Structure 1
Amino acid sequence: MKKRNFSMTEYWNSKAEVHVPLLSFGRHDNTDWRLWQQKAREKLIALLGELPAKVPLEPEVVYSVQEDDIIRERVIFDVEENMSIPCFVLRPQSMPATKKNPAIICCNGHPAHLGKDPVAGMRCEDEHCEAIRQMNYDYGLQMAKKGYLTIIPELRGFGERRDGIDPFPGRDACNVNFIKGALFGCYMLGLNVWDIMRTVDYLETRAEVDPKRIGMMGLSYGGTMTAFTTAVEPRIAAADVMGYINPWSEFAVKRANFCGIQLLPEIYKYFETHDIAGLIAPRPLLLEMGIYDDCFYIQDQLASSEQVKTIYDAAGSGDRFWRDIHAGGHRFAGNKAFDFFEKYL
């Protein structure tokens, strides 16, 4: 009797075993780096979905307070019609407004209800403190203490932009928002990329910021955001992606360890995650990978990082590709990040 399959899990896994993305570097006829980058970036921008029209930022500093030697500002600006973004801006109290300084956009990951707060060093709740302890999560504050102006934006679907802790009881809010956006032809990942591009616009208005020295960093979904945004936004000069670059076939297809906010329709048809990271070349890129990461497994991250290295070598910028393989889990290690940004910003 013929063996037949009824399992959707087996169906997707078997497809992933033989799938080769159409625009993956080095596959099919995608071997010329410059031609590949141009073609791949154009396709990625198209996959982001319909992006909003620009509106004036109309930024507002809600408050500015000094905490030890750090100035903390709550800033709000408009990213599109009928949508604004709240952020924390941190800077050393000694930073002169008359001198152009480097800035870093620091993006958060899950859990979604905590949002930007722990990355900005807010310890209002026990959950904030625990997240900071477990993931060394206050890298927005840490980088400010190292002399950078940092901005920690609230991503759509997180924190203040989540519509409460549990806006759709019994449902994953990331998935619900993805489906709602798909009805309109726009997607949460693309909209968050747009918001970070508008965040760059805002940073360019700040007297303290050198627009040629803007970096980006993030853990988990923050790493997703850092990879995708830097791939399409040339104004970001250097990027630190923590705990993200690994094969779609493993974390997404086989383990279903993802949500609607992390993907774009047809993304795996054309790209692997290492291709997204490779689009950052020749700009400097740091990948942080924990050997005990239980979200994105180390063997998968290492395999993908080799593919990223191949792209950087093809771009003639292998020396600008850094790896921090650390003895930790899903967290900010900080072993190389400070030296990385000091060198490249």
Structure 2
Amino acid sequence: MKSFCKFLWVALCCCPFLLSAQGNFNALAWKQSLAYNSYLMRDVHQQYADRRNELAKAVQSKKAMPQYQDELRKNYKAILGDFPDKTPLNAKVLKVSQENGFKVEKIIFESLPKRYVTANLYLPDGKGPFPASLELCGHGLSGKLYSEEATLMALNGIAVLVVDPIGQGERVQLLDENGKAATRGVTTEHTLLNAGCELVGSSLAAYEWWDNHRALDYLETRSDIDKTRLAVYGSSGGGTQTAYLIGLEDRLKVACICSYFSQRERVLELNGPSDGCQHIPGEGEAHIEIADWGIMFAPKPLLIMSGLYDFVDY
């Protein structure tokens, strides 16, 4: 035992010398290694400077702003890409749980053939038809918090459809040989899935937009839902989905974006592009800032909520 301890002590003493003897394999100094990123950010700053000039002109008159909104929507459609023809939702209610003052229906539907979307519908007690909202989930691992929000809405007479985003809830896509999630956290899965999307000219955000668009289609099939009073809200990654959805979804009457609203230019400079569902390729070239999704939604009511100590700079 004494011999082993002596050997261990000698080995530990030698470690610093061994480490210092290893060469530095960085080909560039730290500032030089950032040169390409700085070059790209120069283009980003120019793109958003042009966008600010366009917006400054648009706010000069009531006639110019609607034209600016139309141009935004056209550019947004272009970067989202084409969507397929709608197919039957084939929706099924798999289980119903009666709670105190409301019930929860566990639902599955197909946004595309064999592309299954899972969701929970929180439905107030009573006859209806009820106003309804989509609740779009963020990347947090505390999924039960979403049910608390939906419960409060249902107890106040508002139906809520909580939609599982791709890669989350019951929709994990990347599995190991045991059927378990193969990635650590949902942001990693989103980034990996988005890489494949971009190779074929699409984006994960476009797929999320389509799933949420079809979720509204599902709400419209129900006689207990008031189709004239539809809304959407979401926090963090759910706020991202909400922003993307309201830009082109005319059926929504009111929306709330929580813990997402910021400046794309600023976020790219400080944090980079985030995970795969947090950006759409071509936003800068199309002169679309995060605020522009709110502008596309105007003049309908939009509540924006931000946390004082959120890691996203606003």
TM over 0.5: yes
1:186-216, CA deviations, whole angstroms, 9 ceiling, x for partnerless residues? 2111111111111111111111111110010
1:16 deviates by: 4.1
Q: TM-score, normalised by structure 1?
A: 0.73
- 1:101 equivalent to 2:111? Answer no
| Residue in structure 1 matching 2:114, options 66, 82, 96 | 82
Structure 1 gap ranges (5+): 122-137, 301-345
Aligned to 1:276: 293
Aligned to 2:77: 45
Whether contact under 8 Å (1:228, 1:277) holds in the other structure is no
- 1:143 equivalent to 2:169? Answer no
1:23 deviates by: 5.0
Query: SS at 2:199's partner residue?
Result: helix
**Distance of aligned partners of 1:271 and 1:24 in 2 relative to their CA distance in 1, 3 Å threshold:** farther
- 1:220 equivalent to 2:246? Answer no
| Residue in structure 1 matching 2:308, options 291, 307, 310 | 291
- 1:69 equivalent to 2:101? Answer yes
1:60 deviates by: 0.4
Aligned to 2:172: 162
Whether contact under 8 Å (1:166, 1:173) holds in the other structure is no
Whether contact under 8 Å (1:213, 1:237) holds in the other structure is yes
Query: SS at 2:252's partner residue?
Result: coil
Q: Distance in 2 between matches of 1:54 and 1:24?
A: 37
1:268 deviates by: 2.2
**Distance of aligned partners of 1:25 and 1:100 in 2 relative to their CA distance in 1, 3 Å threshold:** farther
1:245 deviates by: 1.2
Aligned to 1:185: 201
> Which deviates more, 252-261 or 57-66?
252-261
Query: SS at 2:277's partner residue?
Result: helix
Q: 4+ residue runs of structure 1 moved beyond 3 angstroms? A: 8-19, 21-31, 168-171
Structure 2 gap ranges (5+): 1-30
Q: Distance in 2 between matches of 1:10 and 1:43?
A: 26
| Residue in structure 1 matching 2:270, options 254, 276, 280 | 254
Letter matched to residue 100 of structure 1:
P
Whether contact under 8 Å (2:133, 2:232) holds in the other structure is yes
Query: RMSD value over aligned CA atoms?
Result: 2.4
Q: TM-score, normalised by structure 2?
A: 0.79
Query: SS at 2:206's partner residue?
Result: helix
Letter matched to residue 39 of structure 2:
Y
**Distance of aligned partners of 1:79 and 1:119 in 2 relative to their CA distance in 1, 3 Å threshold:** farther
**Distance of aligned partners of 1:176 and 1:140 in 2 relative to their CA distance in 1, 3 Å threshold:** same
Q: Distance in 1 between matches of 2:111 and 2:152?
A: 27
> Which deviates more, 26-35 or 73-82?
26-35
1:220-257, CA deviations, whole angstroms, 9 ceiling, x for partnerless residues? 11111111101100101100000111111222332126
Whether contact under 8 Å (1:16, 1:249) holds in the other structure is yes
> Which deviates more, 218-227 or 262-271?
262-271
Aligned to 2:14: none
1:96-137, CA deviations, whole angstroms, 9 ceiling, x for partnerless residues? 1xx3220010011013x66xx42542xxxxxxxxxxxxxxxx
